Amino acid sequence: MSDGSLVPNFQWTDTDGITYDLYELLDDDKVVILDLFAVWCGPCWNYAETEALDNLLAAYGPDGTDELRVFGIESDPSTPASSIDGGGNSIGDWFSVMGYPIANDDDMADILDLAYYPTIYTIYPNRTIYESSQISTAQHYNIANDAQIASDPADASTVLYSGIKEVCGGDQEVKAYIQNMGTSPMTSATVTVTGDLETVFEWTGNLGTYGFEEVTLGTVNVDSDQNVTISTTTDGDIFAGNSSISQTIEQMDAVAGPNHIRVTIQTDNWPGETGWELWSSSGEVLASVPFGTYGTTYTLVEEDYWVDADACYMFRIDDAYGDGMYASQYGALEDGYFRVALLDENNNEVAVLAEASGSDEFSTETGAGEITSVVSVDEAELVSEFVVYPNPTNGTSNLMYTLSASSDVSMVVYNTLGSVVLNKDFGTVSAGLQTFELNLNGMDAGLYFVNLTANDRVVTKKITLTK
Beta bridge mates, 69: 32
Q: Are 193 and 218 in contact (CB under 8 A)?
A: yes
392 & 419 share domain? yes
User: Of the residues 249, 275, 292, which one is the last residue of a structural domain?
Assistant: 249
465 & 388 share domain? yes
CATH no. for residue 400? 2.60.40.1930
13 & 81 share domain? yes
pLDDT confidence of residue 379? 43
CATH no. for residue 258? 2.60.40
Q: For residue 149, is it within any domain?
A: no
Q: Is 295 left (phi over 0), alpha (psi -120 to 50) or beta?
A: left
User: Of the residues 209, 230, 249, which one is the last residue of a structural domain?
Assistant: 249
Q: For residue 102, is it within any domain?
A: yes
118 & 34 share domain? yes
307 & 428 share domain? no
35 & 99 share domain? yes
388 & 364 share domain? no
Q: For residue 150, is it within any domain?
A: no
Instruction: State which residues form the domain around 349.
Output: 252-380
Q: Are 62 and 31 in contact (CB under 8 A)?
A: no
CATH no. for residue 36? 3.40.30.10
User: Of the residues 346, 380, 414, which one is the last residue of a structural domain?
Assistant: 380
Torsion angles phi and psi, residue 141, rounded to 5 = -70, -35
408 & 456 share domain? yes
| Cα separation, 456 vs 452, whole angstroms | 10
CATH no. for residue 232? 2.60.40.10
Q: What is the mean pLDDT of the chain?
A: 88
**Residue ranges, the chain, pLDDT below 50:** 379-380
Domain count, the chain: 4
228 & 279 share domain? no
pLDDT confidence of residue 291? 73
Q: For residue 151, is it within any domain?
A: no
Q: For residue 353, is it within any domain?
A: yes
Torsion angles phi and psi, residue 106, rounded to 5 = -75, -15
374 & 395 share domain? no
pTM for this predicted structure: 0.71
245 & 302 share domain? no
| Cα separation, 172 vs 163, whole angstroms | 8
pLDDT confidence of residue 467? 62
318 & 387 share domain? no
